[in-house]
Amino acid sequence: MIGSVPVQGLPGGQHDVKFQLMTDSGKVASDTPSGGGPLVVLEKVNKYFGDLHVLQDIDLTVHRGEVVVVIGPSGGGKSTLCRSINRLEPIDDGKILVDGEALPAEGKQLARHRADVGMVFQSFNLFAHKTILQNVTLGPIKVRKVAKSTADKEALELLERVGIANQAEKYPAQLSGGQQQRAAIARALAMRPKVMLFDEPTSALDPEMVKEVLDVMTSLAGEGMTMIVVTHEMGFARRAANKVIFMADGQIVEENTPDEFFTNPRTDRAKDFLSKILTH
Amino acid sequence: MNWNVLFDFSPLVDEFDKILGAFWSTIRLSLMTGVLALILGTILAGMRVSPTPVLRAAGTFYVNTLRNTPLTLVLLFCSLALSDTLGLKLSNVSTVNFYWLAVFGLSAYTAAFVCEALRSGINTVPVGQAEAARAIGLTFTQSLRMVVLPQAFRAVIAPLGSITIAMMKNTTVVLVASYLEAAALMKDMFEEYGATLPIFLGFAAGFMILTLPTGFLFGWAAKRWAVAR
C-alpha cells in the first residue's frame, strides 16, 4: 500500500479508500459491485455527425463501483459514447444522468460536472508547458480551490501510486508515452472523480508500455472506482471488467459479462468481431 | 553643389540633446503602445476563439476594420476627429493630450496584428489539451488563460517581435497626430539645416539602435521559451 486519498462520491460521501497496487493477477473487480446504485445513466441517446448516425438510441446504466469495458470495431461510436458523458461531444437527443443529475448544457455548471468526471485520452493531452506535478495540481487548485501545499502533497501521493513520483518536476515531452499516460491518470484522479472515463488509453503506446498503464487501471478497478473504458485490450476486459459492451455501427449490440462475452457471445456481430481479433 | 553641407555631421552634434529627447519620446510611445496593444490584442484573440458568436463577430469586425485601414487615417481620426472636432481632452497639457491620442491610435491599430499572430499561435496548441483542460473542470476562460494562451504566446514570440519592430517604426507616423517624436524632429532639422545625408543617417541609426536589440531580444526569447512537444 502506498497512500490514501479521500474519494468523493462514493456512498456515504467522502471517506478514505486505501489504494493498493495489485500483486496477484486474479480477477480484480468483484462480480457484484458494492454500493450498487446507478451512477451513469444514458437514456435513448442519439448523436449525428452530419448524416452519420453515430449513437443510435443508446441505453446504458453504469452502477457505482462497476467497471464497464466498451469494445467494438473502429467507427462504431465507442469514443463518441465515452466523450458524450462529459459533454466533450454534445448529444442531439436523449438524456445523460451522472449521479442522478442531468448534464448541464454549458457554462459553470458544466465545468463543475466535468470536474466530477475524470477523463483519460488516447493521446494523453498533458499540458506541455507545465511540469508533471503542475499538470496534476492545476485542477485541484483552480477548480477545487485546494491550497497549493495540500494539492502538491496529494499530487505527489498520486504520482507515487502510478509509479512516476521521480518524474514530478519534468515536462511531459521528457517522459515516455507510458509515463505520460500514467501522469494523465493521476491528473484525472486528483479531481477525486465519481467516475473515470478512459478513451482508448493504451492505443497510442508502444507495446512494452501498455502493461504499466493497464496495471494502474487494474488496481484502480480493484479499489472500487467506477470506470468506463473504451479499449482493444481484451486481457484487461477479461481481468478487470464487470460488464462488456459491444458496440458496432452506433448501437450497443451486446451487453454481457466478460466471461460469457469472450467464451460464448450471443450475437453474430460479436462472434465475427471476436473471431477476427482473437485468432491472429 | 555644396559638398560640405552634404557631409556635415555637426547638426547631429549640435542638436544631440534634442535628438535624445525626441528618441525618448519614441521610446515612451513604443513602450506604452506595446503594452496596450498586447492587452487589447489578447482580448481580441480571446473573443475570436470564444464559443459566443456575438463576441466572435465583434472581434472579427474589429480586426478586419483596423487591419485594413491605413495607420495615417487611424491617427488622423484620433487627433482631428476625436480631439479637435469632438473635443476629447485627455489632458489640459497639449503634448500629454496628443501623446495619449497617438498611443491609443497606434495601439488600436497594432492590436489587430497582435490578435492575428496570437490566433495563429492558438492553432499550434493541440486541441486535445484544451479538451483535457475542460475535462478537469476549467471554464473556457480558465483554460484559455492557463493552458492555451501561455503556449500560444510562446509559439508566436518571433512574429510578435516583427510586429513590435513594425510598431516602433510606425511611431514615425504619429507626426500627423501632432505628437513630436524622432521623425518630427528630423523633419524640423531638415528645414533648419537642409535635408542632408548625415541627419538622415543619424536618425536611421537611432531607430536601428532601438529596433535591432528588440529583434535580438525576441529571437532569444522565442528560443528560450519554446514549448517542447
Q: What distance in Å separates the CA atoms of residue A155 and residue B201, rounded to the nearest whole number?
A: 60
Assess whether pLDDT exceeds 70 at residue A28. no
Cα distances (angstroms) measured from residue B74 to each of B67, B106, B180: 10, 8, 17
Assess whether pLDDT exceeds 90 at residue B93. no
What's the length of chain B? 229
Give chain A's end-to-end CA distance (angstroms, integer): 38
- Model pLDDT, residue A14: 39
Q: What distance in Å separates the CA atoms of residue A222 and residue A234, rounded to the nearest whole number?
A: 17
pLDDT one-digit tens code per residue, A217-237: 999 999 999 999 999 998 899
Assess whether pLDDT exceeds 90 at residue B212. yes
Q: What's the pLDDT band for A277 if we cut at 50, 70, 90?
A: confident
Record: contact B147-A127, CB cut-off 8 A: yes
Nearest chain B Cα distance for residue A268, angstroms: 36
- Model pLDDT, residue B191: 86
pLDDT one-digit tens code per residue, B169-185: 999 988 877 778 888 88
Place of cell 479508500: A17
Averaged pLDDT for residues B4-31: 86
Domains of chain B with bracketed CATH: 24-181 (1.10.3720.10)
pLDDT one-digit tens code per residue, A86-127: 999 989 999 999 998 888 887 788 888 899 999 999 999 999
pLDDT one-digit tens code per residue, A239-264: 899 999 999 999 999 999 999 999 88
Distinct helix (H) and strand (E) counts, chain A: 9, 12
- Model pLDDT, residue A18: 40
Contact A194, A182 (CB under 8 A): no
- Model pLDDT, residue A24: 39
Closest to B135 (Cα-Cα) out of B127, B53, A204: B127
- Least reliable range by pLDDT among A37-51, A126-140, B30-44: A37-51
On whether any CB of chain B is under 8 Å from the CB of A204, the answer is no
Pick A67 or B196 by higher pLDDT.
A67
Q: What is the DSSP letter of A275?
A: H
Assess whether pLDDT exceeds 70 at residue A13. no
Which of A125, A126, A181, A191 is the mutation pick for testing B, counting most B CBs within 10 A? A125
Mean pLDDT of chain A: 86
Pick B91 or A139 by higher pLDDT.
A139
Q: Choose the closest CB to A139 out of B137, B228, B229.
A: B137
Record: contact A129-B227, CB cut-off 8 A: yes
Pick B84 or A222 by higher pLDDT.
A222
- Model pLDDT, residue B228: 78
pLDDT one-digit tens code per residue, B97-134: 888 989 999 999 999 999 999 999 999 999 999 999 99
A127: chain B residues, CB-CB within 8 Å: 129, 132-133, 147
DSSP bridge pairs for A248 = A251
Q: What's the pLDDT band for A6 if we cut at 50, 70, 90?
A: very low
Cα distances (angstroms) measured from residue B112 to each of A97, A131, A223, B47, B69: 44, 33, 53, 12, 11
A-B Cβ pairs (cutoff 8 Å, strict):
75
- Model pLDDT, residue A118: 94
On whether any CB of chain B is under 8 Å from the CB of A10, the answer is no
Averaged pLDDT for residues A151-164: 94
Q: What's the pLDDT band for A150 if we cut at 50, 70, 90?
A: very high
